[in-house]
């Protein structure tokens, strides 16, 4: 799932970020109220600092790599 910011100009929804997805996918569009917590400056700043995770590995491979790179607590974790 991918979330991006955008602006509705009364006719079209314009993304404010690059869309990294195949065309013709289903989307959910949420209109935020002006007084929404997501419109305050601190929250906008926080959201601008967050990003998406891009990786070609499966979730299982990522978890295995995380556990293998640990320097402490290498007990059996069921992998």
Question: pLDDT (tens digit, 9 = 90+) per residue, 40-62?
Answer: 677 777 777 776 667 788 888 98
Q: Which residue has the higher pLDDT, 78 or 17?
A: 17
The H-assigned helical ranges of the chain are 41-49, 59-69
Tell me what pLDDT residue 78 has. 58
Q: Which residue has the higher pLDDT, 1 or 37?
A: 1
Q: How far apart are CA 24 and CA 39, in angstroms?
A: 28
Tokens coding 79: 């992998």
């Amino acid at each position: 799932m991918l979330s991006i910011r955008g602006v509705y100009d009364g006719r079209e929804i314009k993304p404010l970020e690059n869309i990294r997805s195949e065309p013709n996918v289903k989307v959910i569009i949420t209109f935020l109220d002006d007084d929404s917590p997501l419109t305050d400056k601190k929250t906008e700043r926080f959201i601008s600092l967050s990003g998406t995770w891009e990786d070609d590995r499966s979730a299982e491979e990522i978890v295995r790599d995380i556990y293998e790179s640990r320097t402490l607590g290498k007990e059996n974790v069921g992998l």
